[in-house]
Amino acid sequence: MEIEFKIFTLNCWGIPVVSKHRKPRMQAIAEVLATSQYDVVCLQEVWTDGDFKLIRDKIIGTYPFSHYFYSGVFGSGVCVFSKYPLHDVFFHQWPVNGYVHKLQHGDWFGGKGVGLCRIRVMDYNINIYSAHLHAEYDRKCDEYQAHRVLQAYDTAQFIQLTSAAADLVVLAGDLNTEPGDLAYRILVSMTGLTDAFSEADEIAQETSSTNEALQNSYTPSSLIKKQIPGKRIDYVMYLGGSNIKVTMNHYHHPLPNRVPGCAYSYSDHEAVTATLKVTRDEVPVRIFDISARTAVLKESMDICNTATKRLVNHKRCYWFFTVILFLLLIATVATEAPFGQKVLYHIVHVLIVCAIGFTLFMATLWNMIETNAVVAGKLAMELNMKQKQLF
């Protein structure tokens, strides 16, 4: 028995207030999906209940089954729509997820992780994983590299531990890592997943960028003037189960450059779709490149070691500021308000107390949480390194 499985993924850029043309774009995304012919749709950055329900209600005739992965403060932003019943759903939130005080980034508030939906198509059990890794805000000085590496490793482990009974495994989403980056290599080498793009024809590969693409209306004009082609960070990856042959038939960006009749694109990301042919067949046992996995794990452990040292320095800095602020508070409490500005003086005291609370929290509870998460990831990597054979 043979099936053709089509999957669609898009980062919708649905940040309230911040994202331009959010409401009309969500409506346009819903309209185009309502007439589409995919088996499963994976969306990221659908940050509000209203946007999720708008899309769900619009496409329910085509995709009657859906699930939103609630997590964190705002929700994970990840949701899945399917033509087939969802037999199981589960969300695994990553232990490291950015910083609570980085309000301008907001990744922590999304409670990011990887979502799993299990469906059955004909006689095939299919595991759909959708994820949205921590964003890379500065490639030259990436303070979140360790977080993203640990998220990728955690995702790879999660896929391995939950996919034993699956005939087809598909990972789709905005992984915020470019081909060749460590997080990408972790996902591929640890799981055996195939990047659908690598099997695409030359025409499809000519327009590889999925973020900051030259044809996208939201790409900064400075990048367009310099003809910087953007980056590929949105993926469809797949893996066949035991005695399952999977062939990538078609890969492309399905959405037009602009919403019809409008001057803007559907999102600041490009949608990706892949068509997979799945058959039961005698296939050779997969032989994994142990040396490549070992190299990836060693590099990841080095990142963890660097992150641990940085956390020690962060702890010292926060303790230093805690002591300085406490001494400042004592000194100001013992003196009279200058120029008779008692109200302003009290406000300053309140601000100092708040700052002390923040630095004390970051030096103790937050530092311990992040340190334990990094150490846990490193220990899991060391365990894999000690195995004679990696699975």
Active site residues: 269
Q: Which tokens hold the place of 81?
A: 């729509």
Give DSSP secondary structure letters for 105-129. T-TGGGT-EEEEEEEEETTEEEEEE
- Chain centroid offset of residue 283 CA: 32
To the nearest 10°, report the CA torsion of 351, 352, 357, 360: 150
CA 204 vs CA 45, 209, 370: distances in Å: 25, 11, 41
Q: What is the DSSP letter of 231?
A: B
Say if CB 64 and CB 83 are below 8 A apart.
Answer: yes
Phi, psi of 80 (to 5 degrees): -130, 140
Contacts of 182 (CB under 8 A, 6+ apart): 145, 149, 152, 296, 299, 300, 303
| Orientation angle between helical segments 290-333 and 182-191, nearest 10 degrees | 130
Helix locations, the chain, DSSP H:
22-34, 49-59, 145-162, 182-191, 202-206, 221-225, 290-333, 342-361, 367-386
Does residue 62 come out as left (phi exceeding 0), alpha (psi in the -120 to 50 range) or beta? alpha
In angstroms, the CA 370 to CA 391 distance is 28
Q: What sign has the CA pseudo-torsion 106, 107, 108, 112? A: positive
| Orientation angle between helical segments 367-386 and 290-333, nearest 10 degrees | 160
Q: What sign has the CA pseudo-torsion 161, 146, 108, 176? A: negative
Residue written as tokens 């469906």? 119
Does residue 171 come out as left (phi exceeding 0), alpha (psi in the -120 to 50 range) or beta? beta
